[in-house]
Amino acid sequence: MTPQPAPAIAPDHIQIPTPPSLLLDLERLLAADNVNLQSVAAVIAKDAGITAQIFRALTTEDIFERCQQQG
């Protein structure tokens, strides 16, 4: 019997859950009157899943078009 390679996992189907504490930290930072973007970036950088979701959202054509319109 010849070993068969493991089936490939499509990248679109991989979801990494975001820890709830990270989301709470992010909500708290974003709700502040004077948002410190470095602090927001530091929280986002702690989790690969949320970072990937943000990059995916930012690279959609809809977001790109909105940014061009605001200009």
- Model pLDDT for residues 2-24, shown as the tens digit of each residue: 666 555 555 566 676 666 788 88
Name, in order, each residue with C-beta under 8 angstroms of 57's C-beta and a sequence gap of 6 or more: 63
Residue 9 lies in a domain: no
Q: What is the pTM (predicted TM-score) of this model? A: 0.54
Q: What is the pLDDT of residues 42-69, one digit of tens each?
A: 999 998 888 888 888 877 767 767 777 7
List the domain range (segments joined by +) for residue 50: 18-70
Residue 13 lies in a domain: no
Residue 12 lies in a domain: no
Residue 5 lies in a domain: no
Domain count, the chain: 1
Residue 10 lies in a domain: no
Residue 6 lies in a domain: no
Residue 2 lies in a domain: no
